[in-house]
């Protein structure tokens, strides 16, 4: 996969954005932008250039699942891979995410290896050459 | 050795952010007591614990994860209206936030927190089950951890990656994936995160690493928190832009210097020099402001703590109080915000403890039972004014005087001559406490005298206004920053001295024939106000060489007086350098004036500590 791939990390807790950014950096992805909620994320995504979204679930203003639905409903954005990051390890949440079109689901806390594996699968599925 | 080797920066970030979150949660809990069904509040509080749990998970602070997780579950059920919020549940929730704060305390000392109180965890589980508040009393009084068997909600949702293979399979099924992948679940994150830590951050911030390592070696990690600050990147960019522009201005000046040194002094060159210097002047001023702004933080961060403080205390005293916050967005220098924490907490406690009446007294006085304490901040010119007002019983000057007399803090003469305003300020005297029995709250550790001293250290002033039966207001006036002090530069002979401009009310000319002597002291009548004249030379212990020509009307917290000087240099913004080895009485530090001479900056408080009595003749009838 391209190390230049541009990520958008969406989380209202800046420490968490930093953790995810660091994990991505560890995997060699350095082209990472951040947004603090779904509203900010959507605005940035509409600006274009992003190739991957990693989003928290529980956020004020616009939650991760709402963001996911908005992405899937937008003709320009609907092909973007979206990895949902959350501590909500609840069955109904996973179903909800899958139904809304999440490309993957990872439960906090996770390691770089877990993230790498999830990214790999998602990118494979989205047809990005490894 | 720290339990968080290699995760120092991350932990620091987490603590800063999580502390803010928790304060916010605390406030929302106070709100929640008033509006127990507010869906947004319940959701926000849920998210607070949830977010803290998420961060704690990455830091491997299991005990914190556990406590937050249970509390979060409780709020999940509350927000879904599955269980009702009652007073007992509220107390458990408040203890849980205290437990979380306690764990933050451990983390701040870089230690893994101990497990939360088993009784608290048990009570939380009971709460999640909906058993709290309706169980028989004997079960409540001794909640055994074993009393809550089969905690279904708690157990099924613990966010251990290992707990989710079923969901993973289910999820993969939904995504049309091979079920074989379901076997791959996240390994326990503990060791990996720790061993990877340093490498990751080394690439993150190359120059930060050695310093951090050094700090860890010395085990002096606790100071770290006070030395970090969160700055809006726009403000940093502003600083960068201005320093760039100053660089350009410097280049321009370099060119002009070369020209001038080469003998080019025509009108145009000099005009260009004048312009370049003016431009630089402007830029440096802007840069000072921009740098100062990077240190500015909204005072709301401090205010956040107080609704909870007021609530807890009022509850224990059997009073009803609402703490109203105003102007939380007002910005103040970071150092000052830190220094203001203790004085403000004391004033809030003081208002609730001493200022407010009991609900019965309030009813009898025809006041609403719930008292209001208002904490507000606003910027007035180059000052920030903080005020704490209550609608309580007010302060009675005669009672205060009587107390001070009984305690031997003042003599009867002083008491008789003391006006109401000064009588109120008696509460700032060391050893003064209006209640005969020191209560467990306001009387703990610090007194009002310490409040005043702390405010004065920040070059601030504190004033009291009180109307008997209607309430009391303490106002604290502070300069925007400690870094730059606006001063008035005065002279004795040729020696310049700087006086903090905040104390200066006006400048007057002293005509010897208008100076009178009242009770043996040189006094001048300014608009019907008799003000004592104190010569700066006299205060410094210098010989008065000539009659002072000018007076600076000074207003301190204690009184107003006229500071007699020989002349003025002007007003200036100075940066005070402390004097390390010599500390002359009444001198706060030194600064350099524009022409390079040393100006002593006066500490008026110290200077006035033990003033000599000056008669009219001492000042104006020299043996000439």
Measure the CA–CA gap between B174 and A107, rounded to whole angstroms: 17
Q: For residue B154, what pLDDT is reported?
A: 37
Measure the CA–CA gap between B298 and B118, rounded to whole angstroms: 38
Inter-chain contacts counted by CB atoms under 8 A, chains A and B: 106
Measure the CA–CA gap between B239 and B246, rounded to whole angstroms: 10
Q: Quick check: A90 and B163 CB within 8 A?
A: no
Q: Is B201 on the interface with A (CB under 8 A)?
A: yes
How confident is residue B431, by pLDDT bands cut at 50, 70 and 90?
Answer: confident
Q: Are B521 and B532 in contact (CB under 8 A)?
A: yes
Q: Is the pLDDT assigned to residue B414 strictly greater than 70?
A: yes
- pLDDT digits 0-9 by tens, B268-310: 999 999 999 999 988 988 898 888 888 888 888 888 888 888 8
DSSP state of B264: -
Measure CA B260 to chain center.
51
Q: Which two tokens stand for residue B134?
A: 């309706």
How confident is residue B446, by pLDDT bands cut at 50, 70 and 90?
Answer: low
- pLDDT digits 0-9 by tens, B478-513: 877 666 778 899 999 888 999 988 788 899 998 888
Looking at residues B393-403, what average pLDDT do you find? 89
Helix extents (H) in A1-130: 14-26, 38-46, 64-72, 91-100, 112-125
Measure the CA–CA gap between B219 and B523, rounded to whole angstroms: 59
Report the interhelical angle of B8-34 vs B306-317 (nearest 10°): 50
In the block, tokens 């009391």 appear at: B472
- What end-to-end distance do the CA atoms of chain B give, in Å? 74
Q: Is the pLDDT assigned to residue B435 strictly greater than 80?
A: no
Q: Kindly state the percentage of chain B with pLDDT values over 90.
A: 17
Q: For residue B133, what pLDDT is reported?
A: 62
Looking at residues B338-348, what average pLDDT do you find? 87
Q: Closest partner residue to A111 among B10, B175, B192, by Cβ?
A: B192
Looking at residues B546-559, what average pLDDT do you find? 82
Question: Which chain A residues are closer than 8 Å to B176 by Cβ?
Answer: none
| 3-state secondary structure labels for all residues of B584-595 | CCCEEEEEECCC
**Per the omega criterion (within 30 degrees of 0), is the bond before A28 cis?**
no
- pLDDT digits 0-9 by tens, B306-320: 888 888 888 888 888
Measure the CA–CA gap between B507 and B503, rounded to whole angstroms: 12
B139 or B54: which carries more pLDDT confidence?
A: B54
The backbone torsions φ and ψ at residue B587, rounded to the nearest 5 degrees and listed phi first, read -110, 120
Q: For residue B563, what pLDDT is reported?
A: 92
Q: For residue B211, what pLDDT is reported?
A: 37
Residues paired with A83 in a beta bridge: A54, A104
How confident is residue B417, by pLDDT bands cut at 50, 70 and 90?
Answer: confident
Measure CA B389 to chain center.
18
B456 or A100: which carries more pLDDT confidence?
A: A100
Average pLDDT score, chain A: 88
Measure the CA–CA gap between B522 and B618, rounded to whole angstroms: 9
Q: Is A15 on the interface with B (CB under 8 A)?
A: yes
Q: Is B308 on the interface with A (CB under 8 A)?
A: no
Question: Which chain B residues are closer than 8 Å to A56 by Cβ?
Answer: 54
Q: For residue B188, what pLDDT is reported?
A: 39
Looking at residues B460-472, what average pLDDT do you find? 90
How confident is residue B592, by pLDDT bands cut at 50, 70 and 90?
Answer: confident
- pLDDT digits 0-9 by tens, A26-84: 898 989 999 999 999 999 999 989 999 999 988 888 989 999 999 999 999 999 999 99
Q: Is A105 on the interface with B (CB under 8 A)?
A: yes
Looking at residues B342-370, what average pLDDT do you find? 89
Q: For residue A1, what pLDDT is reported?
A: 55
Average pLDDT score, chain B: 78
Q: For residue B482, what pLDDT is reported?
A: 67
Q: For residue B447, what pLDDT is reported?
A: 76
Looking at residues B427-450, what average pLDDT do you find? 61
Q: For residue B622, what pLDDT is reported?
A: 54
Q: Are B196 and A26 in contact (CB under 8 A)?
A: yes
- CA pseudo-torsion sign B462, B465, B468, B470: negative
- CA pseudo-torsion sign B394, B399, B403, B405: positive
Tell me the pTM.
Answer: 0.53
Q: Is B18 on the interface with A (CB under 8 A)?
A: yes
Q: Quick check: A109 and B189 CB within 8 A?
A: yes
Q: For residue B169, what pLDDT is reported?
A: 55
Q: Is the pLDDT assigned to residue B159 strictly greater than 80?
A: no
Q: Is the pLDDT assigned to residue B190 strictly greater than 50?
A: no
Q: Is the pLDDT assigned to residue B420 strictly greater than 70?
A: yes
Q: Closest partner residue to A25 among B50, B159, B203, by Cβ?
A: B203
Q: For residue B516, what pLDDT is reported?
A: 85
- pLDDT digits 0-9 by tens, B81-132: 888 888 888 888 988 998 999 899 888 888 888 888 888 898 888 888 887 7
Q: Quick check: A22 and B18 CB within 8 A?
A: no
Q: For residue B204, what pLDDT is reported?
A: 39
Q: For residue B183, what pLDDT is reported?
A: 37
| 3-state secondary structure labels for all residues of B351-418 | HHHHHCCCHHHHHHCCCCCCEEEEEEEEEECCEEEEEEEECCCCCCHHHHHHHHHHCCCCCHHHHHHC
C-alpha distances (whole Å) from B533 to each of A58, B137, B619 are 66, 71, 9
Question: Which chain A residues are closer than 8 Å to B163 by Cβ?
Answer: 89
Q: Classify burial at A129, counting beta carbons within 10 Å of its beta carbon; exposed 0-12, middle 13-18, buried 19 or more.
A: exposed
Q: Which two tokens stand for residue B338?
A: 């830190």
Q: Is B50 on the interface with A (CB under 8 A)?
A: yes
Nearest to B570 by CA among B460, B482, B486, B459: B486
């Amino acid at each position: 996969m391209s190390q230049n791939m541009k990520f958008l990390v969406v989380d209202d807790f800046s420490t968490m954005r930093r953790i995810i950014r660091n994990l991505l950096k560890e995997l060699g992805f350095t082209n990472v932008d951040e947004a603090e909620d779904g509203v900010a994320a959507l605005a940035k995504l509409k600006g274009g250039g992003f190739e991957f979204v990693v989003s928290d679930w529980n956020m004020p203003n616009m939650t991760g699942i709402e963001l996911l639905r908005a992405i899937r409903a937008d003709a320009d954005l609907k092909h973007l891979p979206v990895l949902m990051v959350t501590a909500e390890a609840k069955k109904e949440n996973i179903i909800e995410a899958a139904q809304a079109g999440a490309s993957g689901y990872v439960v906090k806390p996770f390691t770089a290896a877990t993230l790498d594996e999830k990214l790999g699968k998602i990118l494979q599925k989205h047809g990005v050459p490894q | 050795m720290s339990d968080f080797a290699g995760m120092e920066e991350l932990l620091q970030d987490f603590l800063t952010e999580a502390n803010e979150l928790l304060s916010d949660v605390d406030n929302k809990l106070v709100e929640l007591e008033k509006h127990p069904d507010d869906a947004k509040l319940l959701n926000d509080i849920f998210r607070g614990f949830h977010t803290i749990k998420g961060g704690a998970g990455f830091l491997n602070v299991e005990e914190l994860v556990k406590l937050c997780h249970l509390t979060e579950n409780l709020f999940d059920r509350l927000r879904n209206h599955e269980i009702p919020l009652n007073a007992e549940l509220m107390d458990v929730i408040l203890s849980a936030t205290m437990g979380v704060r306690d764990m933050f305390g451990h983390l701040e000392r870089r230690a893994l927190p101990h497990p939360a109180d088993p009784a608290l965890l048990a009570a939380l589980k009971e709460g999640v089950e909906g058993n709290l508040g309706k169980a028989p009393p004997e079960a409540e009084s001794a909640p055994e951890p074993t009393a809550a068997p089969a905690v279904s909600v708690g157990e099924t949702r613990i966010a251990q990656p290992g707990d989710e293979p079923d969901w993973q399979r289910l999820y993969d099924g939904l995504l049309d994936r091979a079920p074989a992948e379901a076997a791959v679940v996240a390994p326990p994150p503990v060791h990996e995160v720790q061993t990877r830590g340093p490498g990751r951050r080394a690439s993150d911030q190359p120059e930060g690493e050695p310093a951090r390592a050094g700090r860890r070696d010395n085990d002096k990690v606790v100071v770290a928190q006070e030395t970090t600050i969160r700055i809006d990147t726009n403000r940093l960019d502003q600083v960068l832009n201005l320093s760039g522009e100053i660089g350009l201005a410097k280049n321009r000046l370099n060119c002009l210097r070369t020209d001038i040194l080469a003998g080019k002094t025509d009108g145009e060159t000099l005009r260009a020099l004048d312009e370049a210097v003016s431009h630089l002047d402007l830029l440096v001023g802007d840069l000072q402001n921009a740098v100062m702004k990077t240190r500015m933080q909204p005072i709301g961060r401090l205010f956040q703590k107080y609704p909870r403080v007021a609530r807890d205390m009022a509850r224990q005293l059997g009073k009803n109080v609402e703490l109203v916050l105003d102007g939380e967005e007002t910005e103040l220098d970071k150092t000052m915000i830190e220094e203001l924490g203790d004085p403000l907490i004391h004033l809030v406690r003081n208002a609730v403890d001493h200022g407010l009446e009991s609900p019965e007294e309030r009813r009898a006085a025809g006041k609403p039972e719930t008292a209001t304490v208002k904490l507000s901040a606003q910027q007035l010119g180059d000052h920030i004014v903080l005020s704490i007002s209550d609608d309580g019983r007010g302060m009675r000057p005669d009672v205060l005087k009587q107390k001070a007399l009984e305690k031997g803090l003042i003599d009867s003469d002083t008491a008789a001559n003391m006006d109401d305003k000064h009588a109120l300020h008696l509460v700032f005297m060391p050893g003064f406490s209006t209640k005969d029995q020191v209560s467990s709250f306001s009387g703990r550790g610090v007194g009002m005298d310490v409040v005043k001293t702390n405010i004065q250290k920040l070059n601030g002033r504190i004033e009291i206004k009180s109307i008997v039966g209607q309430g009391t207001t303490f106002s604290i006036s502070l300069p925007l920053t400690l870094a730059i002090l606006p001063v008035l530069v005065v002279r004795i002979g040729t020696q310049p001295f700087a006086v903090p401009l905040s104390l200066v009310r006006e400048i007057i000319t002293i005509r010897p024939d208008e100076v009178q002597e009242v009770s043996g002291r040189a006094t001048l009548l300014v608009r019907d106000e008799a003000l004592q004249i104190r010569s700066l030379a006299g205060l410094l212990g210098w010989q008065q060489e000539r009659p002072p020509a000018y007076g600076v009307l000074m207003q301190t917290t204690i009184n107003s007086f006229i500071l007699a000087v020989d002349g003025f240099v002007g007003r200036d913004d100075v940066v005070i350098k402390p004097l390390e080895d010599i500390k002359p009485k009444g001198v706060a530090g030194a600064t350099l004036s524009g022409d390079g001479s040393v100006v002593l900056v006066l500490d008026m408080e110290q200077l006035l500590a033990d003033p000599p009595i000056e008669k009219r003749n001492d000042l104006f009838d020299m043996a000439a």
